[in-house]
Amino acid sequence: MTATTRNDTPVMIEGDGVELRTREIGGDMSVAFVRLPRGADMGPALKGLTDDLCQCPHWGYLLKGRLKMRTRDGERVYEAGQAFYWSPGHAPEALEDCEYVDFSPTKDFAEVIDHIKARMG
């Protein structure tokens, strides 16, 4: 069994108030600690992926804020205190300052992170 804290998890993406920390925690799954400031829209960073959307599934819990998730089928708003499952094909936008923890398949998530990092710079 493995455990980690936000502070012990390496920063993978940082800038403009966005912070993504992730670590593999066992098998083929990783945990991510995410902070998005109000107005952060991850859509532009996902351009070039299939349907210009994140193709990695995520299971998690929204700790703080409100987040709009855009999908091929429409939009849905998530609020602090909700557990969630985001299937492949989504792009988040922070309606308020947000913090959440999610769990994702390591390989799929690494592909998305690498794509975002390449677009950033």
Q: What is the pLDDT of residues 28-84, one digit of tens each?
A: 999 999 999 999 999 999 999 999 999 999 999 999 999 999 999 999 999 999 999
> Using 50, 70 and 90 to split pLDDT, how confident is the model at 2?
confident
Bridge partner list, 11: 21
Containing structural domain, residue 87: 36-97
Same domain, 42 and 29: no
pTM: 0.93
Same domain, 2 and 27: yes
How far apart are the C-alpha atoms of 60 and 76, rounded to whole Å? 15
Among 25, 1, 22, which Cα is nearest to 112's?
Answer: 22
Same domain, 45 and 31: no
pLDDT of residue 27: 81
Mean pLDDT across the chain:
95
pLDDT at 1 over 70: no
Same domain, 20 and 48: no
- State the CATH number of the domain containing residue 68: 2.60.120.10
Same domain, 46 and 22: no
Same domain, 80 and 28: no
pLDDT at 13 over 90: yes
- Which H or E element spans position 17? none
pLDDT at 115 over 70: yes
Among 73, 45, 77, which Cα is nearest to 62's?
Answer: 77
Residue 106 lies in a domain: no
